[in-house]
């Protein structure tokens, strides 16, 4: 799907709406669909996209690990380690459980069943279940990628709309524009160009503008 708004117009929109709040506004993208029956499970969107320029913020990464080598490697790369033996205790501590939401989470595969059993009801609905570390993982590059990755999911089975974050107001407008193009392109490839009705961008507290 082609962009309906060029980079100059997009940059002007961002400039006109940034810096007007006491907090840092995110830049959000909404994609509207047509001709897709989202009441059917097979038609619902559940995909990941790597934003070429990231989300404008860097979240800390934490790994669930009971493996000494993995834990040591994680610490060397600035990744927090959550001891696998603590999973059950954390699941019963509301404060510690809530603290996990500030991280991008990954886990030693052997611990995934325990995490799902103890924390799945809390982390799952918040889209924060950890990703299993499969194969030979470079933790440094993985950490960088996690901070660029977004998950796209329908909010409801009857809503023909998809929402996601594509940056924040402190980012260069051209970089946000590239992120928007990447998401729209990826979604269009998934569902087909003819099924994407339109796309709009807005800052947290701004009015939306049509970009595609």
pLDDT in tens, 60-93: 999 999 999 999 999 999 999 999 999 999 999 9
Q: Measure the CA–CA gap between 153 and 117, rounded to whole angstroms.
A: 23
DSSP 114-133: HHHHHHHHHHGGGT-PPEE-
8 Å CB contact between 164 and 29: yes
For residue 155, the enclosing domain spans 7-56+148-210
Instruction: Residue 176: give its domain's CATH number.
Output: 3.30.190.20
**pTM of the full structure:** 0.80
Same domain, 74 and 135: yes
Distant-in-sequence, close-in-space partners of 13: CB < 8 Å, separation ≥ 6? 5, 201, 209
- The answer as to whether 23 is a domain residue is yes
- The answer as to whether 32 is a domain residue is yes
pLDDT at position 1 over 80: no
Q: Measure the CA–CA gap between 211 and 181, rounded to whole angstroms.
A: 9
Return mean pLDDT, the chain. Answer: 92
8 Å CB contact between 163 and 200: no
Same domain, 89 and 106: yes
pLDDT at position 158 over 70: no
């Amino acid at each position: 799907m082609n962009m309906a708004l060029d980079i100059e117009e997009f940059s002007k929109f961002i400039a006109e709406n940034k810096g007007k709040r006491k907090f840092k506004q995110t830049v959000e993208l909404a994609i509207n669909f047509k001709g897709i029956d989202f009441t059917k499970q097979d038609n619902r969107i559940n995909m990941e996209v790597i934003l070429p320029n990231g989300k404008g913020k860097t979240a800390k990464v934490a790994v669930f690990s009971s493996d000494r080598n993995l834990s040591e490697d994680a610490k060397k790369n600035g990744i927090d380690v959550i001891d696998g033996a603590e999973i059950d205790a954390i699941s019963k501590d509301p404060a510690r459980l809530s603290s996990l939401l500030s991280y991008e989470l990954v886990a030693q595969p052997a611990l995934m069943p325990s995490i799902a059993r103890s924390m799945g009801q809390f982390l799952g609905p918040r889209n924060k279940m950890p990703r299993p570390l499969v194969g030979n993982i470079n933790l440094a590059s993985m950490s960088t990628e996690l901070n660029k990755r977004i998950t796209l999911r329908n909010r409801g089975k009857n809503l023909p709309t998809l929402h996601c974050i594509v940056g924040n107001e402190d980012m260069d407008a051209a970089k946000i524009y590239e992120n928007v193009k990447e998401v729209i392109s990826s979604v269009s490839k998934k569902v087909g160009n003819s099924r994407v009705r339109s796309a709009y961008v807005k800052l947290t507290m701004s009015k939306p503008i049509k970009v595609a």
